[in-house]
Structure 1
Amino acid sequence: MKSLRRKKQSAFTLIEMVIVLFIISLLLLIIIPNINSQKNSAKNKTDAAFKTTLQTQVDMYDGDNPTWGKLQSDNYLSSAQVNKAQKEGYAIENGTVVGPKK
């Protein structure tokens, strides 16, 4: 006669699942604000590098009163750079790049 033993099933208990979900939620609470601050930091560094690039090209320009159009036509800046500079509100004032104006 077969014994009426139940087979032991291995599974997670409800308490174990709750603990795991709690730990995951704590990690997310820590990670998400850091991701946003890293994103803002990267954007600020990118903007500063772009402004530096624009200023370098303005400084290298041979003519008087550089404009975005003149810099592009004389191949100091690409059309993509000029479009981005105009879109983000950079301007050239007395040979100095200022902006972006937000």
Structure 2
Amino acid sequence: MSSERGINVKHLFKNERGFTLIEMMIVLLVISVLLFIAIPNVTKQSGSINAKGCEAFVNMVEGQVEAYKMDGNTGQVTIQNLVTEGYLKDEYKACPDGRAITIGQNGDVKVSDS
């Protein structure tokens, strides 16, 4: 069993050694330690990500309230008015973290604490 160059393929694989059980266990231990370090850091950041996402959402809704007013719409601005008139999509009635938003009499957008 030889190739075109005259190298014996059986001879190539005969001298290779595999990993020992101890080496494999050490690799698994290192991977496990890295996962135990990384997972808590990722979960800590999810709260910060949700807060920033909600803040960006409020800024976007404030812009849509201003656009609604500039288009000559008068009266109380509500989320439903913005959806009905096409300023917001129906699925964007709340922050990404699920907290509801309200629009005050003067057009201020606020996030509920619950």
Asked if Structure 1 and Structure 2 have the same fold, meaning a TM-score greater than 0.5 normalized by the shorter chain, the answer is yes
Deviation at 1:51, TM superposition (A): 1.0
Report 1:34-53 matches (<5 A): 34-53=41-60
Q: Alpha carbons of 1:67 and 1:9: their partners in 2 closer, same or farther (altered >3 Å)?
A: closer
Which structure exhibits the higher relative contact order, with contacts defined as CA atoms closer than 8 Å and separated by 6 or more residues? Answer: 2
**Match in the other structure for 1:97:** 109
SS in 1 for 2:76: coil
Cα RMSD (Å): 2.4
Which residue of 29, 38, 47 maps to 1:22?
Answer: 29
Please tell me the residue identity of whatever aligns with 1:64: G
SS in 2 for 1:61: helix
**Does residue 78 of structure 1 match 2:85?**
no
Uncovered stretches (5+) of structure 2, i.e. residues with no partner: 1-13
Partners of 1:76 and 1:14 lie apart in 2 by: 62
SS in 1 for 2:91: helix
**Does residue 59 of structure 1 match 2:66?**
yes
**Match in the other structure for 1:3:** none
Deviation at 1:72, TM superposition (A): 2.1
TM-score normalised to the size of structure 2? 0.65
Count of residues in correspondence between the two structures: 94
SS in 2 for 1:88: coil
Report the structure, 1 or 2, having the larger helix content.
1
**Does residue 33 of structure 1 match 2:40?**
yes
TM-score normalised to the size of structure 1? 0.71
Partners of 2:104 and 2:53 lie apart in 1 by: 22
Partners of 1:73 and 1:21 lie apart in 2 by: 56
